[in-house]
Chain A
Amino acid sequence: MTTGQKISVTVNGVNYEREVEPRLSLGDFLRHDLQLGGTHLGCEHGVCGACSILIDGKSVRACLMLAIQADGLEITTIEGLRDPQGGHLHPIQQAFVEEHGLQCGFCTPGFIISTVELLAGNPSPSDEQIKDALGGNLCRCTGYETILRSVRLASARVQAGKAAAHNSA
């Protein structure tokens, strides 16, 4: 048995201080210690991208980091995107809904996180740039067409300044 180590992390704007085993993965820490279950684990060896999160704005695979390595860092997970007051979806989430950018939805948080990172740095990416940004995320359901369309729509929304998401019928 190993002994715990104290860490302090900020996740979706909330600070958490926890004692964790050094071997605890960041993915397991987020999912089970903090009950933020939207970060899904698809392979636990860094290939599928389902567990993508943002650390200081950059996408990172939660399965490839230990919780103790996140000490002092700012993390955004899929749960941090939706407007907590009004309940509105983030424009990227809304675009995925409108363009049928998901089927089972298990890989979706990872794709959305990768898209957040992409559009933050490049609000109007070309298709090739979208593919480059999402090439590290695997989806087994959609065949990627509607994901590409979702990112294009999200980009267009950002461009048109229509960032406010409305759950229109």
Chain B
Amino acid sequence: MVRDIPNSPDMLPITSTRYVGKAVKRIEDPALVSGTVEFIDNYSVPGMAHCAMMRSPHPHARVLSVDTGAAEKMPGVYAVLTGEDVKKWCNPMATSPEGWGAYCLAVDKVRFVGEPVVAVAATSRYVAEDALELIDVEYELLPVLVDPHKALEADSPTLFEENKTNVIQDRSYTWGEIDQVFSEADHVFTEKFRWNRCGANPMETFGCVCDWDTVNDYVTCRGSYQTPGFMALGRAGSFNLPSNKIKVISHPHGGSFGGKGGPRGTEIAALLSRKAGGRPVKYIEDRVEYLLAGAGQSWDRYYKASIAVKADGSVSGFKVDLLDDQGAGSEGWGTISVAKPLAAFTGCYRIEAAQYNMKLVVSNRAPTFAYRGYGPPPHNLVLESLMDIAARELGVDAAEFRRRNYIQPEQFPYTIPSGNEYDSGDYEAVLDKVLGMADYQALRAEQEKLRAEGKLVGIGVASTVEPGVFDWNAYSTVGVAGVGVPEGVKVAIDIMGQITVTVGFSLEGQGQYTLAAQLVADYFCVEMESVRVAYAATDVAPPHFGPGGSRLGVAMSGAILGACQKIEDKFAQVVARLMQTEPGNVELMDGHMRVKGVPGAEMHIAQVAGTMLNRSDLLPPGMEPCPEATYVWTAPNRNQPDDQGRCRSYLTAANACHVALVEIDPGTGVTDILKYFIVDDCGTRLNPATVEGQIQGGVAQGVGAAFFEEYVYTEDCQPLVSLFSDYLLPTIHEVPIAAKGDVVTPSPVAPLGAKGCGEGAIHTTPATLMCAVNDALFPLGVQIRETPMSPNRVWTLIQQAQ
């Protein structure tokens, strides 16, 4: 039965909430600050072997021979795995459109520098790396596909030869009368943009410990898995094993942001275990491996985009041509991040028609993966930059231009041209609040004054919509085999009134265990300390997906509330029997089941649970004595995409507006962020402290993408980034501490009115900063359209202007 889940905290069965909506401390933290949490590399078992991998030094080559003889004979080596083993025992990973995936180790050819070619399991990582030195691989070099534009040409070197093309997908979505809208427009503004690849880089790299029970053909994989159920299903497919013979155990992990990876490392470790007779094998990716070939590269994009604007300043059309360099195959769910912008294609604006022409191609760079935001950060940068261009040409202030085009509060639920439905919002209230916080008029006056002094000072204003709580229908149009995205939990009350919530995902940083405890504690009016959150591996957990797509806080809340309601229903039956009334006359309030209208006729939930477990004689006849319930939540009212990909995909639409003040040093091209303001609206804030943490963390990643982070390749596809001294993560010196405010427009359709809020800041920050930098550069007559806006790029532009 699908339940009506409360869409407001006021509807919880407690007189006034004690935890929900409060900035409570996280239950995760005492162990994390003590250094006692079992991250995967802290886990060991006796006899465990350690894996090291030999990786390709070439971007494109045929593997002619692999000589592992000396390595196999080396003392301490348990097993050596090659492409021949993999071909025999394994299928290509099913994380891409069919035909564009890869085996976990190179089979016959390598397609990028860093692709694993041979793997060794030995007594220690040190010994395993020694053994790699004894392996000889002979390659025949192949022509390299460097420029993704060339991938479209028939005579380009073919990476996946059986496909006879380098184009993974070439499709066009048209929504509304796009040609008419553009022909009737008073102004059309067109610009090109380049987003260079950047990516997740969680502080912990990927790691796993796998063992292959060779007697029962049963594989257990422990590791830093963001989406364990998904991982288990994929490995069953790779290994030709029944889905219930793969068990994935997710350990707490040091961040993920979509870019943790896992399939390759897991398969290699598991197959090494198989080859080593079932001995557990640990693989801990190191940072060099992560940067070269892990799941840390995303969004390598070339855009050409246009907006159509009427004389009154209303934007009527938006066209985007995207060439996306997926790298050497799309094993990293890379196609999905091209599709996600469909969920908020036209942002905050009443744009009536839109078009999206996307070409996804391969190249001999590393495959691209998911990264927090999953595609919209570059897309929003394009849209917001065009909004600025139009505003400037029409002589309208950037903030005012956006205001004129906002979807209005009374228009919700609002269906955008690309088909998604926004649940609620008040974009003008968000804008007004952030402009007030920034004292926008004074900021503009200050800018004028500083400009008069010859300083390069700019202000950026950007508004975005953050789609939250994804459903797979959004992605099914780009050819990735779908899985369901339900989220299930089990809630159990024991005889002492202590409550355990069982979930299918592990700690990753967003504070979801704390949120689970907050919700359950308020639902049953117990102390948070009485609630324990337990992790269950894939073989015993309820159906689950885990974090991703700004969904888990909302989805888990729905699951917990559903499970609590089911327990309440059971308890009502028990209490009705004891109090000689009908279950409909019994309700839960403040931790007691009470008979409506009969003061004093009540039982504490612990008593009810105890009665269920101890006194079957008192229960309604035939009742199952189980004070527990499992509930699996999924977003209501989803539908199938039509032929243009239109569907209700993401349940919630959060909104934010950022304002930044920057100054560029013309002598060095270095941009200094002087001030940063954010107002966001993610509906009900279930734990305001964790929401703010998500926002500030997203700002940091946005600053990185805007100014510092880039995977640089040479002109023959050799990576130049392999260390944190090459790939520049922002430090405490570079990240502005944003002044933050909120507007609360609860979602009418989501549990407790909360909207997904994990990605909004990275959606908005790069766009805001590019708008600010271009505002600063405007007096010089140059503009930047490429990320990261590194000092050398900005300095070069300034030189061109002079």
Interface residues of A in 24-72 (CB under 8 A from B): 24, 31-32, 36-45, 47-48, 50
Query: Please, which residues of chain A bring their CB within 8 A of the CB of B254?
Result: 40, 42, 104-107
Query: Please, which residues of chain A bring their CB within 8 A of the CB of B33?
Result: 78, 89, 93, 96-97, 102, 105, 108-109, 112
A134 interface hit (Cβ, 8 Å): yes
| A141 near B42: Cβ-Cβ < 8 Å | no
Query: Please, which residues of chain B bring their CB within 8 A of the CB of A138?
Result: 203, 724, 729, 731
**Binary flags per residue of B724-750, CB closer than 8 Å to A gives 1, else 0:** 110001011101011000000000000
Contact of A140 among B286, B287, B507, B729 (CB under 8 A): B729
Contact of A167 among B30, B255, B509 (CB under 8 A): B30
Interface residues of B in 625-646 (CB under 8 A from A): none
| B693 near A100: Cβ-Cβ < 8 Å | yes
Q: Interface majority SS on A: helix, strand, loop or mixed?
A: loop
| A105 near B509: Cβ-Cβ < 8 Å | yes
| B34 near A78: Cβ-Cβ < 8 Å | yes
B35 interface hit (Cβ, 8 Å): yes
| B34 near A47: Cβ-Cβ < 8 Å | no
B41 interface hit (Cβ, 8 Å): yes
B interface size (C-beta, 8 A): 58
| A1 near B75: Cβ-Cβ < 8 Å | yes
| A142 near B697: Cβ-Cβ < 8 Å | yes
| B255 near A39: Cβ-Cβ < 8 Å | no
- Closest B-chain residue to A45, C-beta based? B723
Nearest-Cβ distance from residue B286 to partner chain A, whole angstroms: 6
B666 interface hit (Cβ, 8 Å): no
| B35 near A77: Cβ-Cβ < 8 Å | yes
A162 interface hit (Cβ, 8 Å): no
Residue of A102, A136, A144 contacting most chain B CB atoms (<10 Å):
A144
Cα A23 to Cα B124 with chains together (Å): 12
Interface residues of A in 112-165 (CB under 8 A from B): 112, 131, 134-148
Nearest-Cβ distance from residue B555 to partner chain A, whole angstroms: 19
| B286 near A102: Cβ-Cβ < 8 Å | no
Query: Please, which residues of chain A bring their CB within 8 A of the CB of B255?
Result: 103-104, 106, 140-141
| A139 near B690: Cβ-Cβ < 8 Å | no
Cα A103 to Cα B732 with chains together (Å): 16
Query: Please, which residues of chain B bring their CB within 8 A of the CB of A136?
Result: 731
| B36 near A38: Cβ-Cβ < 8 Å | yes
Q: Please tell me which stretch of B21-29, B172-180, B463-471, B497-505 contacts chain A, meaning at least 4 of its Cβ atoms lie within 8 angstroms of it.
A: B21-29
Query: Please, which residues of chain A bring their CB within 8 A of the CB of B35?
Result: 36-40, 77-79, 109
**Binary flags per residue of B283-297, CB closer than 8 Å to A gives 1, else 0:** 000111000000000
- Closest A-chain residue to B701, C-beta based? A140
| B693 near A148: Cβ-Cβ < 8 Å | no
Q: Known contacts A103-B255, A141-B509; decide if A43 and B723 are in contact (CB<8 Å).
A: yes
Query: Please, which residues of chain B bring their CB within 8 A of the CB of A21?
Result: 126
Query: Please, which residues of chain A bring their CB within 8 A of the CB of B137?
Result: none
Query: Please, which residues of chain A bring their CB within 8 A of the CB of B286?
Result: 44
Query: Please, which residues of chain B bring their CB within 8 A of the CB of A112?
Result: 33
- Closest A-chain residue to B510, C-beta based? A103
| B39 near A40: Cβ-Cβ < 8 Å | yes
B699 interface hit (Cβ, 8 Å): yes
A98 interface hit (Cβ, 8 Å): yes
The number of A-B residue pairs with CB atoms under 8 Å apart is 180
B201 interface hit (Cβ, 8 Å): yes
Query: Please, which residues of chain A bring their CB within 8 A of the CB of B732?
Result: 131, 134-135, 137, 139, 144, 147-148
Chain A interface size, as a band, is: 35 or more
Cα A167 to Cα B34 with chains together (Å): 13
| B509 near A144: Cβ-Cβ < 8 Å | no
Contact of B731 among A40, A100, A135, A141 (CB under 8 A): A135
Query: Please, which residues of chain B bring their CB within 8 A of the CB of A1?
Result: 75-76
Nearest-Cβ distance from residue A80 to partner chain B, whole angstroms: 9
A18 interface hit (Cβ, 8 Å): no
Contact of B126 among A24, A40, A144, A146 (CB under 8 A): A24
| A100 near B690: Cβ-Cβ < 8 Å | yes
| B257 near A140: Cβ-Cβ < 8 Å | yes
Query: Please, which residues of chain B bring their CB within 8 A of the CB of A98?
Result: 25
Residue of B26, B201, B203, B699 contacting most chain A CB atoms (<10 Å):
B203
Contact of B697 among A32, A47, A103, A106 (CB under 8 A): A103
Nearest-Cβ distance from residue A167 to partner chain B, whole angstroms: 7
| B509 near A143: Cβ-Cβ < 8 Å | no
Residue of B33, B44, B699 contacting most chain A CB atoms (<10 Å):
B33
Residue of A42, A143, A147 contacting most chain B CB atoms (<10 Å):
A143
Q: Known contacts A89-B34, A131-B732; decide if A105 and B29 are in contact (CB<8 Å).
A: yes
Cα A96 to Cα B28 with chains together (Å): 12
| B39 near A131: Cβ-Cβ < 8 Å | no
**Binary flags per residue of B250-277, CB closer than 8 Å to A gives 1, else 0:** 0011110100000000000000000000
Cα A67 to Cα B784 with chains together (Å): 49
Query: Please, which residues of chain A bring their CB within 8 A of the CB of B26?
Result: 97, 100
Q: Known contacts A105-B509, A147-B732; decide if A97 and B30 are in contact (CB<8 Å).
A: yes
Cα A134 to Cα B753 with chains together (Å): 38
| A100 near B689: Cβ-Cβ < 8 Å | yes
B511 interface hit (Cβ, 8 Å): yes
B450 interface hit (Cβ, 8 Å): no
| A140 near B202: Cβ-Cβ < 8 Å | yes
Query: Please, which residues of chain B bring their CB within 8 A of the CB of A77?
Result: 35
B696 interface hit (Cβ, 8 Å): yes
Cα A23 to Cα B733 with chains together (Å): 35
**Binary flags per residue of B518-529, CB closer than 8 Å to A gives 1, else 0:** 000000000000
| B126 near A42: Cβ-Cβ < 8 Å | no
| B697 near A102: Cβ-Cβ < 8 Å | no
Query: Please, which residues of chain A bring their CB within 8 A of the CB of B700?
Result: 139-140, 142-144
| A143 near B697: Cβ-Cβ < 8 Å | yes
Nearest-Cβ distance from residue A11 to partner chain B, whole angstroms: 13
B211 interface hit (Cβ, 8 Å): no
- Closest A-chain residue to B204, C-beta based? A106
Contact of A93 among B34, B202, B203 (CB under 8 A): B34
- Closest A-chain residue to B43, C-beta based? A37
Cα A159 to Cα B660 with chains together (Å): 35
B602 interface hit (Cβ, 8 Å): no
Cα A81 to Cα B507 with chains together (Å): 23
Nearest-Cβ distance from residue B78 to partner chain A, whole angstroms: 16
| B507 near A104: Cβ-Cβ < 8 Å | yes
Q: Known contacts A23-B126, A77-B35, A105-B254; decide if A146 and B29 are in contact (CB<8 Å).
A: no
Query: Please, which residues of chain A bring their CB within 8 A of the CB of B508?
Result: 104
- Closest A-chain residue to B704, C-beta based? A140
Cα A61 to Cα B203 with chains together (Å): 15
Query: Please, which residues of chain B bring their CB within 8 A of the CB of A45?
Result: 287-288, 723-725
Cα A146 to Cα B696 with chains together (Å): 9
| A105 near B693: Cβ-Cβ < 8 Å | no
| B41 near A37: Cβ-Cβ < 8 Å | yes
Nearest-Cβ distance from residue B381 to partner chain A, whole angstroms: 19
Cα A45 to Cα B731 with chains together (Å): 16
- Closest B-chain residue to A99, C-beta based? B689
Nearest-Cβ distance from residue A44 to partner chain B, whole angstroms: 6
Query: Please, which residues of chain A bring their CB within 8 A of the CB of B32?
Result: 102, 104-105, 108
**Binary flags per residue of B173-212, CB closer than 8 Å to A gives 1, else 0:** 0000000000000000000000000001111110000000
| A140 near B39: Cβ-Cβ < 8 Å | no
Cα A136 to Cα B701 with chains together (Å): 17
| A140 near B203: Cβ-Cβ < 8 Å | yes
Cα A136 to Cα B731 with chains together (Å): 8
| A141 near B697: Cβ-Cβ < 8 Å | yes
Contact of B204 among A40, A89, A131, A143 (CB under 8 A): A40
| B511 near A37: Cβ-Cβ < 8 Å | no
Query: Please, which residues of chain A bring their CB within 8 A of the CB of B200?
Result: 140
Residue of B34, B39, B41 contacting most chain A CB atoms (<10 Å):
B34
A-B residue pairs, 4 tightest by C-beta: A38-B35, A106-B254, A105-B32, A104-B509
Given contacts A98-B25, A144-B696, 8 further A-B contacts (CB under 8 A): A38-B34, A42-B205, A48-B287, A106-B203, A108-B32, A131-B733, A140-B203, A141-B509
**7 residue pairs bridging A and B, Cβ less than 8 Å apart:** A105-B509, A106-B254, A137-B731, A138-B203, A139-B700, A141-B203, A142-B693
